[in-house]
Chain A
Amino acid sequence: MKVDVVELYEIRKAIHPRDVHGWFAAWRWLLVWATQLVFYGAAWLPWNGRQAVLFDIAHRKFYIFGLVFWPQDIIYLTVLLIIAALSLFLFTAVAGRLWCGYACPQTVYTEIFMWIERRIEGDRNARIKLDASGLSLKKFILKAEKHGIWAALALWTGFTFVGYFTPIRELGAEVLALRTGPWETFWILFYGFATYGNAGWMREQVCLHMCPYARFQSAMFDKDTMIITYDGARGEPRGKGAGRSDQRGDCVDCSICVQVCPTGIDIRDGLQYQCIGCAACIDGCDQVMQKVGRPKGLIRYSTERALEGKATRILRPRVLIYAAILAGIVLAAGAGLWLRVPLKVDVIRDRAAISREVEGGLVENVYRLQVMNTTERARSYEVAVAGLPAGALASEPRVHVGATDSRMVPVRVRADRALAGQGTHDIVFSIRAVDDENVAVQEKSVFIVR
């Protein structure tokens, strides 16, 4: 019996994807521009004298244009994540790994980094030659140039990222003066390093070995899911060169589809978990088919069922259920945001002094109202109490709270012992903005007569 020593950890084989142009590559570039204009640009937009999009963790205020979210609004973040997850499920069930192929930051930044790489080192063949050659001054300069530009872009990305958590203009001044705070420095460098490492070095390794979504998305796949397929019936038997005859299939075995693949697979072997659905092989193959005068689409978006010669069903239970849940949550979230009252109130009963006597046979209870004004202008509110026979507020009913500020207001409620009767009474505080009666909140509490 033959016994070999096997390495259980293999060194990554470098992939040198060939440049590709075409319909799907254009779509990818469109999404690169769309997502990155938003990412690099939105941090610089002003809004009412502040940064339009700012997540102020120190003060726990999260600004998105006209909206100000407080930690109590965490439900909206939850809903956003649920919407994101369900959209992913829906898109994947219908059209496979659309997210991976076009919009995932890993794909987007890899695309940008590869573009820089091509501009400096040349296309696939030039890069293979360069990497195989020994160290020379020319190689050193090219590599230094590439890594220098990568690092600059990565640092700018890290800077932009941190600019969403600390005002980016002030951060820019701090960076220029080299006096960023320890955490700002750490996150700029860390996010920059992650960008540089993932888009420059790790690339397909992220998709193959790190990404959890890549591994569980097969749960959303079925025979009607669009995938990138090689039409074996049309292409085989493959063959190249002058020896081609009519018995040969359309595949000229030019291996362009393999050369352009960012994960280094051969799509002609069928659907593989490594395929991120970027459609580079479709663009590559279509160009070759055009040159050899054959119809496009030897490699194309199709479904397993279509390849069997049957009709693809798009509206199937899985798709309808994902779509229905998604639509429901989007509607609910939209309505929730639309109806959101920019005022929050918590009522905290005094616990030690439960109930006290005051002159005239009256009983008094004390509460703290935490009044949170989530608008960006100072406001006055009117406090009232209901639900208590002959009970009334015995303290100042008018409360003034500054812009995006909160105040703890002690409030006294007084009732006639004889009329209210001994025991616990349910009461309701209503707090209403003086200048807008729609900005009103009701909070329950109890009144105790001892």
Chain B
Amino acid sequence: MSEFTSSFWDYFVGVITLVSIAACGLLLWMQSTHRASGSETSGHVWDEDIREYNNPLPRWWMWLFYLTIAFGFLYLLLYPGLGSFKGTLGWSQITQLEEENAQAQAAFGPMYERFAAKDVVALSKDPEALAAGQKLFLNNCAQCHASDGGGSRGFPNLTDRDWLWGGTPEAIKASITGGRTGVMPPMGEALGGQGVKDMRHYLMQLSGNAYDSIRAAYGREKFVVCAACHGADGKGNPALGAPNLTDKIWLHGSGEEIAETIARGRTNQMPAHKDLLSPSKIHLLTAYVYSLSAK
């Protein structure tokens, strides 16, 4: 913003503010007595015969007016409000947020420290830790993985035993901390239109679904290019995030979507949380996620 404005306007606004407040005080002082012409009314007449009495206000009321003026000056001295002057207390919305965060840290920090001292498997059986972990999960993970951790299309189900990147506590913690990027390269050009369809039949065979045996056999011949990641037996590779193709779990859909995945590839991302959550929170979340499938 500072490129577009000059500090002239800060002074302009500041001077107008101060002069206005001072003028209010001056007006009040000048108006606290007046020369009356013996008349009891203010001289204003409404609706032909309604007049206003000039009854005095209580003196303490006048002091309240002066008090508000003093308050105004004091406020502008202590808090930001006068042009770009920051106020002597140094208060801002940012400092308030930081203070509140520090208070929350002081209030909840000991609980997280206590949980951080236990290992993930033990925590995953501790009801108190799971209750706290569930709150973290609902606030940070449920948007994609659903409130029950069951996921939806494109977002892995965390409640089953099928893990793209491994289901050990260490692997789960690494997924949350650093995130994951799973890339399936497009194979449409390499396989050709018919080759993609054949491959789909082979995958149906691998996962125990209905398939055309001749076309599956064609697909099987070409599976060698897939085996680099998914393994010769198609059971996947957690080091690469390559899914197991022999179960009935299809992250991106089990119908025609499979052909699309083969032809066009997929890039799927789990964002890193190391900058969003403290290590002790990630530890607790790991235990909660681990508990979802450990039942």
Interface residues of A (CB under 8 A from B): 1-12, 202, 205, 208-209, 350-357, 359, 364, 366-368, 395, 408, 410-412
Across the A-B interface, give the 6 residue pairs with the lowest CB-CB distance, nearest first: A353-B152, A410-B147, A410-B148, A9-B62, A10-B56, A356-B152
Residues in B whose Cβ lies below 8 Å from that of A10: 56-59
Q: How many A-B residue pairs have CB under 8 A?
A: 101
Residues in B whose Cβ lies below 8 Å from that of A350: 142, 146-147
Complex: how many Å from CA A353 to CA B147?
9
The answer to whether A359 touches B248 (Cβ under 8 A) is: yes
- Contact flag A6-B34 (CB < 8 Å), given A352-B143, A412-B150: yes
Report B81 CB to chain A, min CB distance, Å: 23
The answer to whether A366 touches B58 (Cβ under 8 A) is: no
Report A351 CB to chain B, min CB distance, Å: 8
Other-chain contact of B148, A2, A9, A412 (Cβ < 8 Å): A412
Complex: how many Å from CA A351 to CA B153?
14
Report A81 CB to chain B, min CB distance, Å: 27
Nearest residue, chain B, Cβ from A365? B146
- Contact flag A8-B147 (CB < 8 Å), given A209-B58, A352-B152, A408-B134: no
Which residue of B144, B145, B147 has the most chain A CB atoms within 10 A of its CB atom? B147
The answer to whether B147 touches A368 (Cβ under 8 A) is: yes
9 further contact pairs, Cβ within 8 A, besides A8-B32, A8-B34:
A5-B35, A10-B57, A12-B58, A208-B58, A350-B142, A350-B147, A353-B152, A356-B150, A366-B150
The answer to whether A1 touches B58 (Cβ under 8 A) is: no
Q: Is B239 an interface residue (CB 8 A)?
A: no
Q: Which of B27-75 contact A (CB under 8 A)?
A: 31-38, 54, 56-62
What are 19 residue pairs bridging A and B, where the CB atoms are less than 8 Å apart in the complex? A2-B37, A3-B37, A5-B36, A6-B36, A7-B32, A8-B56, A8-B57, A9-B57, A9-B62, A10-B56, A10-B59, A12-B58, A12-B60, A209-B58, A353-B146, A356-B151, A357-B153, A364-B150, A366-B147
Complex: how many Å from CA A129 to CA B54?
32
Complex: how many Å from CA A117 to CA B144?
71
Q: Is B161 an interface residue (CB 8 A)?
A: no
Q: Is B138 an interface residue (CB 8 A)?
A: yes
Q: Is B155 an interface residue (CB 8 A)?
A: yes
The answer to whether A205 touches B152 (Cβ under 8 A) is: no
Complex: how many Å from CA A350 to CA B32?
65
The answer to whether B151 touches A353 (Cβ under 8 A) is: yes
Report A229 CB to chain B, min CB distance, Å: 24
Complex: how many Å from CA A200 to CA B193?
95
Nearest residue, chain B, Cβ from A450? B153
- Contact flag A1-B38 (CB < 8 Å), given A9-B59, A350-B146: yes
The answer to whether B59 touches A11 (Cβ under 8 A) is: yes
Report B208 CB to chain A, min CB distance, Å: 12
Residues in B whose Cβ lies below 8 Å from that of A205: 58, 60
Q: Is B118 an interface residue (CB 8 A)?
A: no
Complex: how many Å from CA A363 to CA B58?
74
The answer to whether A7 touches B138 (Cβ under 8 A) is: no
Residues in B whose Cβ lies below 8 Å from that of A410: 138, 142, 146-149
Complex: how many Å from CA A408 to CA B138?
9
Q: Is B274 an interface residue (CB 8 A)?
A: no
Other-chain contact of B32, A3, A4, A9 (Cβ < 8 Å): A9
Residues in A whose Cβ lies below 8 Å from that of B143: 351-352
Report A371 CB to chain B, min CB distance, Å: 13
Complex: how many Å from CA A73 to CA B32?
49
Residues in B whose Cβ lies below 8 Å from that of A3: 35-38
